[in-house]
């Protein structure tokens, strides 16, 4: 989801609490805080030798001990506005950084309203070979989905 769409969802639901839900239906507990809003630029070279760059807006979500805290959409929109001088474009993708068993980053897949709040569904990020031809990998076939690091561990 682009930053412009994310902000629009927040403004259209200004008084509603914000929630984040994973693909499996689990949620980040409702007392989370957004402790950072950042513009992240990653400059890298792929395994085929091509220099690349990727930019995103990243929200760091953190759980404090204040379990009665609830962040409403208007307040999150104000926090994002504070970062406006750091974020060059509204068409950057938004990602959420959250620490469960490990620090992970998630895409924002969609927004919906449910049970009196605005809920953003978190999507998984995946690694990929960006130089499939140079590596002799067939581009047509998608790799098998990983079972994930938390499968069966009970910590996620």
Question: For the chain, which residues make up each domain, given as ranges?
Answer: 3-135
pLDDT tens per residue across span 126-136: 999 999 988 88
End-to-end CA distance of the chain: 24
pLDDT at 87 over 50: yes
For the entire predicted model, the pTM comes to 0.85
- CA dist list (Å): 60 to 43, 98, 105, 106, 110: 21, 6, 9, 11, 18
For residues 34-56, average pLDDT:
96
pLDDT tens per residue across span 1-43: 999 999 999 999 999 999 999 999 999 999 999 999 999 999 9
């Amino acid at each position: 989801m682009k930053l412009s769409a994310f902000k629009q969802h927040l403004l259209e639901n200004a008084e509603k609490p914000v929630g984040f839900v994973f693909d499996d239906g689990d949620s980040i507990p409702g007392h989370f805080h957004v402790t950072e809003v950042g513009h992240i630029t990653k400059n890298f070279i792929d395994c085929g030798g091509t220099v690349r760059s990727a930019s995103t807006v990243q929200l760091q979500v953190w759980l404090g001990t204040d379990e009665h805290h609830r962040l409403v959409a208007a307040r999150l929109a104000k926090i994002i506005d504070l970062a406006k001088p750091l974020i060059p474009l509204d068409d950057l993708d938004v990602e959420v950084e959250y620490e469960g068993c490990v620090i992970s980053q998630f895409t924002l897949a969609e927004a919906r309203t449910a049970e009196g709040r605005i809920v953003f569904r978190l999507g998984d990020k995946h690694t990929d070979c960006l130089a499939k031809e140079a590596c002799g990998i067939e581009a047509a076939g998608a790799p098998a989905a990983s079972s994930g690091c938390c499968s069966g561990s009970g910590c996620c």
